Amino acid sequence: MPMIHPSVFLAAGALLVLVLPAKWRYVGLLGGPVLAVLAVFGLQPGTVVPFPFLGFELQVLRVDALARVFGIIFATMALLGAVYALHVKTRGEHAAALLYAAGSLGVVFAGDWLTLFLCWELMAASSVFLIWFRGRPASLAAGFRYLLVHFLGGNLLLGGILLLMSQGSLTVTSLTGTGGPAFWLILAGVAVNAAIVPLHAWLTDAYPEGTVTGSVFLSAFTTKAAVCVLIRVFPGTELLIWAGVIMALYGVVYAVLENDARRLLAYHIVSQVGYMVAGVGIGTELAINGATAHAYSHILYKSLLFMGAGAVIYATGKSKFTELGGIARAMPVVVVLYMIGGFSISGVPLFNGFISKSIVVYSAEASGLALVALLLHLASVGTFLSTGLKLPYFMFFGENRHNLRPAKLPLNMYVAMGGGAFLCTLYGVYPALLYAELPFPLAYEPFLVLKVVLTVQLLLATAAGFWLYLEKLGGEPTVSLDFDWFYRKPAAALLGRTLDGMRGVKGAVEGWGAAFFRVAAPYVRNPLLVGVDLLRNTSYRAARRLDQDGWSGRVPYDENQHRFPTGLSVLWSLVFLSLMAVFLYAGLL
């Protein structure tokens, strides 16, 4: 199995989901991810699978330490997500999720730019259905915006790739320090998927509108696949240091203001990916290890948090804090499992967020970037405040003002959440299991007494502040304006004016067309009238003779005598098409 691409199993699983009878489609839904996990663990660094294509030798599978660690967590997440979605009856949603995971693995293991781009677009084209399958008008609109933004990012990426190909470069390698249009186009295309501020609004717009199970997959793959590409292609790009810091702070500020559970978690994706982006920008081996480890941890705890929020939405039909509260006794297991994810993202010791986030902060300190380290610490305060305290309090423990009675959850939801919680705790207690898979050797001890004490003090101070300002932190039934305002409002106005103009043009064309056909219809029925009217209009004598000879009325027409031969019509058609082909060819030169 080591030479089979893991994505093949996921794609095959998607196909089986679509074609097998309902009671057997779970073979594809679970079998594909299980085989993908086994395939990833069977891959060894140094493995390359070439594929000849149009004179190029593509590397559809290239394994190194970076690809392997991302492959492990992506395949694992595909399995956990599949278990969480077992109760879903929609075949298309299952197939879209598996294809989405397959595209993500394809990006991770791509050794050439063409393979990476094709898998990049597969991710966008398949993941949008995880939003659309929710079926609400808001979900359909958010899905279209999501698709448009990702196709824009894909085109930017493609433009850079084509420039590299024109220079004879097809292998995915580091572009740091090269500069030029290709560098900036590829960086911009990847930045869209990484949700770098201000290119992030698609994420917080679309992820909360996904299906209960679809948002779990969405939270795991797109941004982390982009982080993997940033690590491989742009390590040490200093611009990314401050881009990451801005992301980390920006996300927590909006999360503190948010009233919707999944939108709050979406803003924290922006914030947590900021740590990874900053690590890529620092570019040292320690920082790259930190960015990789934090991406690994983030996929586990963020998917667990989305599972917990999704379980509440499934059981109550509500997602806003102003509509939730008082359901902790009815959902005690969900509360415990969610809090494991909340402690993990907040960097509580003995959970996986602590053993990965601290590497990024320490790498900033080791590189002499004290201000960067301080701001990342500050972002951690906002993370615990919103995700570890605000969200669980108002979702589970606040006043039950709407007399909510949660429905029973399917067993598979508990199993998936339990698996995610177990892994978050396992890596938090035994970080060496993760450190051994990182791209570079790592001599880092997260459990030094001083680090643990400082972290606990910071968390306790944050908790005290939360209780002091509890009333002011409650959600408001409003929507916070974000950068998407700058393209949604102007685009809507421009589209409205464009449509009004098009309606006017359409009305004018229809009027002209109707007038033309009223005039032309008699000549189409009787082509001889063309000659008669030409003579009448060009010669007074001819007109008088026509009137005297009785041609002023109906002109006799025999189609067998007067019509053109069929071959002549075909000849003119061929001439016209040949001329069009010549013009088009000339325009492409």
Give, for all 589 residues of the chain, the pLDDT tens digit. 447 899 999 999 999 999 998 888 889 999 999 999 999 999 999 899 888 877 778 899 999 999 999 999 999 999 999 999 999 999 999 999 999 999 999 999 999 999 999 999 999 999 999 999 998 999 999 999 999 999 999 999 999 999 998 887 788 999 988 888 999 999 999 999 999 999 999 999 999 999 999 999 999 999 999 999 999 999 999 999 999 999 999 999 998 888 899 999 999 999 999 999 999 999 999 999 999 999 999 999 999 999 999 999 999 999 888 888 889 999 999 999 999 999 999 999 999 999 999 999 999 999 999 999 999 999 988 898 888 898 999 899 888 777 888 999 999 999 999 999 999 999 999 999 999 999 999 988 999 888 899 889 888 988 888 888 777 776 666 677 787 777 666 766 666 677 667 777 767 777 777 777 676 666 565 665 555 555 555 555 555 555 555 554 455 656 565 565 666 667 767 776 777 666 555 544 4
Helix orientation angle between 411-429 and 285-316, rounded to the nearest 10 degrees: 160
Q: Is 540 exposed, middle or buried (0-12, 13-18, 19+ CB in 10 A)?
A: exposed
* Per-residue model confidence (pLDDT) at position 466: 83
Q: In whole angstroms, what is the distance from residue 209 CA to residue 138 CA?
A: 7
d(CA 113, CA 129): 25
End-to-end CA distance of the chain: 47
CA distances from 258 to 140, 246, 327, 552 (A): 22, 18, 20, 81
Tokens of 291: 């960015």
Residue that has been written with the tokens 């008082």 in this structure: 326
Q: Where are the domains of the chain?
A: 1-209, 235-476, 484-525, 528-555, 564-589
Taking residue 4's Cβ as centre, other Cβ atoms within 10 Å add up to: 16
Could you say which DSSP state residue 506 is in? H
Can you state the angle between helices 332-345 and 411-429, rounded to 10 degrees? 30
DSSP 472: G
Alpha-helix runs per DSSP H in 346-400: 352-366, 370-383, 391-392
* Gap between the Cα atoms of 42 and 35, Å rounded: 10
In the block, residue with structure tokens 């593509």: 58
* Cβ neighbours of 261 (radius 10 Å): 26
CB atoms under 10 Å from CB of 503, counted, come to 10
Residue 206's Cβ-count burial label (10 Å; 0-12, 13-18, 19+) is buried
Best CA proximity match to 403, nearest among 308, 312, 316:
316
- Nearest alpha carbon to residue 459 among 470, 469, 451: 451
pLDDT for position 304:
96
Question: 430 CB contacts (<8 Å, ≥6 apart)?
Answer: none
**Scanning the structure block, which residue is given the tokens 């599949």?**
82
Q: Which helix (H) or strand (E) holds 485?
A: helix 485-525
Distances (CA, A) of 89 to 23, 209, 266: 10, 19, 26
Q: Residue 516 and residue 527: Cα distance in Å, rounded?
A: 16
- Provide the 10 A C-beta neighbour count for residue 265: 27
Nearest alpha-carbon partner for 7 in 39, 29, 30, 31? 39
Q: Could you tell me if 181 and 163 are in contact, meaning their C-beta atoms sit under 8 angstroms apart?
A: yes
**pLDDT recorded at residue 196:** 95
Rounded distance between C-alpha atoms, residue 161 and residue 156, angstroms: 9
Which residue bears the tokens 């660690």? 69
The Cα–Cα gap between 414 and 75 comes to 20
CA dist., res. 355 & res. 102, Å (int): 28
Residue 136 DSSP code: -
Pull the structure tokens for residue 570. 């075909």
DSSP string, 299-310: HHHHHHHHHHHH
Structure tokens at 264: 């709050």
Count of alpha carbons within 13 Å of 280, Cβ hemisphere only?
Answer: 32
Tell me the H-state helices in 85-194.
Answer: 91-109, 113-127, 129-132, 137-166, 180-194
- Contacts for 102 with CB less than 8 Å, ≥ 6 apart: 7, 8, 10, 11, 14, 119, 122
Overall size of the chain counted in residues: 589
Per the omega criterion (within 30 degrees of 0), is the bond before 198 cis? yes
Residues whose CB falls within 8 Å of the CB of residue 541, separated by 6 or more in sequence, listed in order: none
